[in-house]
Amino acid sequence: MQVRKMKFARAIGVMAALAVTTIGTMVSAATGPGYDDPTNWPQYHRSYNAWRFSPLDQINKANVKRMHVAWIHQPGAVTHGLQATPIVIDGVMYSIAADNNVFALNAATGAVLWRYTPKLDPVVREVFYGSASRGVTVGRGKVYIGSLDGRFIALDQKTGKELWSTQLTNMRAEGGALFSSPPQLAGNTLFGGTTGGDQPIIGKIYAVNADTGERTWTFEIPRDDPKSWPGDSRKRGGGSAWLPGTYDPTSDTIYIGTSNASPDFNRDDRMGDNLYTATVLALDAKSGKVKWHRQEVPNDTWDFDAAYESLLVPSTDGKSALVHLNKNGFVYVMDKDNGSMLNAWQYTENMNWAKGVDPKTGLPIEPNYPETGKTKLHCPNLLGARSWNHGAYNPGTKLWYSHGMEVCNHVTSAKQEPVMGISSLTLGLSDIRLTDPPGKKADGWLGAFDPITGKQAWKVRFEMPPLSSVLATGGGLVITGDMRGVLYAFDADNGRELWRFNAGSGARGGPISYSVNGKQYIAIPTGLGSHAPGFLTGAFPQIRDLPGGSALMVFSVD
């Protein structure tokens, strides 16, 4: 691994020991519940603006080399790793493991306070995307999950007792559409989307009353528009919203990204723009109606979802911009109030699916579409310029820290009749192989960028693309992990490695930081999971030898 430093035009830093109260004052206006209390990690991204930033600075650049294991929790099943981002509120940690196993722990000791294991419909054993769970949501005295058999479930926050359960998807009729990510709160509305972008279905986003579980609205992602979906292609159009959305309480707006259209790599039967797939949606939280939309990949034929997080950061005019990374290797910078383009910049180093993106219109320039019966090399690959693991923004450095993967794929597009079934995939191809970029060796990196301009501050190279999310802290640290199970703390200003720990199995979930009784902790879920590592073996055969695991590692400094 090596660090490449870049000249950066403006002054970056705040001092490593910048007080928690100072940073809290800088950013509290646009954050959300729990941000005024820096000891908590109260929601999936910690704050409404999706920064994944903790202002805590007790663990910092000066002492992180002394960071050691405080406690470890092994939640049971190890075959599918840990993909979740834990939640911590008032000294209690809430999280979830494979197969929707939910647990509450004493956040200082790891002692189990309660567990909940749902009785899942046996149909989940037949589903392609089964077992993965990315987290829980806590609020209104409840712990909420999206289940692997298509339900929203509410548990009592203190006891783990089930309070209500609402069945939202018909899994056998909808290709096994399920919830792999936690639903999010928008006031008293609980909302979330399902898997299904690779299935011949109509993908949906659901909303229920957070107190009762009663349905309030449902949004169908493939828009009912014959210009967008010729013939009856909409009925098989796929589309999903499989990652958590974010919520802006100042405007009562939900921001949520959607997946690719189906079939993924063949467009012969869907020659429209295929709204609202590969789109960032701004929805009214109460009604689910569209306030605005930004389709990043019209007629997506590369599996370039727009499902990733919507980051809200200060822009040059003093307002908040919405910054969104697409799997296609470009970052789209938009006005959060109307979706108008402010900028677009290239994120990945290797890109040939289009000549570029027009920063004024947000549309691709000369896209290089897959063609039926032909084999083409496309960069980036179907997993994207980054996998779904999230980046982090530090308001002190004004930098966004995020991973990337430099991997391409050879795809042979093929016309494929849709097959309805619980685990059916309609990919529209006869062959796909991940491979090195032309003239280079495939690898991965962690980079630091100005999220508005794309100006790079530094970049650290990895042998294989890291699949962990990233944490930024007020102590000047950037925390993450790699596929071999090595956990890292980097200097937020220059990318210098300050600490590492071998956890034994790769990191796939979301690291967090919190404090209990005046002591700061950093928690990092470990254990590879999901299909991404398996797909990557084409370019990185060494992945086959990586060990499984499932352990929540928690660290502190004495």
Decide the pairing of beta strands 87-89 and 68-73. unpaired
Q: Report the alpha-carbon distance of residue 16 to residue 18 in Å, rounded.
A: 6
Which tokens sit at 12?
């970056």
Spatial CA neighbour of 18 closest among 395, 397, 475: 475
The secondary structure of residue 410, as a DSSP letter, is E
Q: Report the alpha-carbon distance of residue 470 to residue 311 in Å, rounded.
A: 14
The secondary structure of residue 24, as a DSSP letter, is H
Integer angstrom CA distances of residue 196 from 129, 260, 268, 424, 446: 9, 9, 20, 10, 29
Q: Provide the strand spans (E) within 175-303.
A: 184-186, 189-193, 204-209, 215-220, 246-248, 253-257, 279-284, 290-295
Integer angstrom CA distances of residue 52 from 303, 390, 479, 514: 26, 8, 11, 12
Q: How many CB atoms lie under 10 A from the CB of residue 344?
A: 24
Is 358 part of the annotated catalytic residue set? no
Q: What are phi and psi of 210, to 5 degrees?
A: -65, -20
> Is the Cβ–Cβ distance between 352 and 379 less than 8 Å?
yes
Q: What are phi and psi of 65, to 5 degrees?
A: -65, -20
Catalytic residue among 303, 443, 450, 482: 303
Q: How many CB atoms lie under 10 A from the CB of residue 5?
A: 12
Residue 136 CB partners (closer than 8 Å, separation 6+): 84, 87, 94, 95, 96, 102, 143, 144, 145, 182
> Is the Cβ–Cβ distance between 99 and 149 less than 8 Å?
no
Q: What are phi and psi of 289, to 5 degrees?
A: -80, 150
Q: Residue 128: is it exposed, middle or buried by C-beta count within 10 angstroms (0-12/13-18/19+)?
A: middle
Q: Report the alpha-carbon distance of residue 267 to residue 415 in Å, rounded.
A: 8
Q: Which residues are catalytic?
A: 303
